[in-house]
Amino acid sequence: MKRLALLLLFAAACKREAVVTDTTPMDTREPVSIRYVGAPELPVREKPDDAAPVIATYQNGEAMSVLTEKGDWVEVRTGDRAGWAHTADLVNAEGKERAEADPQSQVKFKVMPLPVAALRRAATAAVPREQVLSRT
């Protein structure tokens, strides 16, 4: 009886679990420019529409890789995918420099976004982001 219980317990422990893999392709397009969040908070939406769901939110001063421009909207990289943000909420490098030079400015600009190749290396090697930053 004990052997049967142990055998059943062992069989349950060895049961095969389904492997879950993310098959979503990584967005590898090269950015057309780097812009910085000039608004207090920047919602990045799924589509270039104010009614579209927000997929990510960035804070004032964070760097963004711009992939395309479409009227009042820009397509930006959000990690391994892309989303849409209002062009008016972003500043270019000159705007960033003016804000950094202004002693009254509350903007604190962040580290530039990592290139896609560095993100892939980090994801496949399970290397912490800080180590990837020190290598690039």
DSSP letter string, the chain: -HHHHHHHHHHHHTPPPPPP---PPP--PPPSEEEEE-SSEEEEESSSSTTSPEEEEEETT-EEEEEEEETTEEEEEETTEEEEEEGGGEE-HHHHHHHHH-TT------PPPPPHHHHHHHHHHT--HHHHHHH-
Note the pLDDT of residue 104. 73
Segment 1-24, tens digit of pLDDT: 777 776 677 766 666 666 656 566
Please name each of the domains of the chain with its CATH number. Answer: 26-110 (2.30.30.40)
The residue ranges of the chain whose pLDDT is under 50 are: 132, 135-136
Residue 110, phi then psi, degrees to nearest 5 = -95, 180
* Cβ 24 vs Cβ 50: under 8 Å: no
Note the pLDDT of residue 68. 92
11: tokens are 């069989």
* Cβ 47 vs Cβ 30: under 8 Å: no
* Cβ 124 vs Cβ 133: under 8 Å: no
Note the pLDDT of residue 99. 73
DSSP β-bridge partners for residue 54:
45
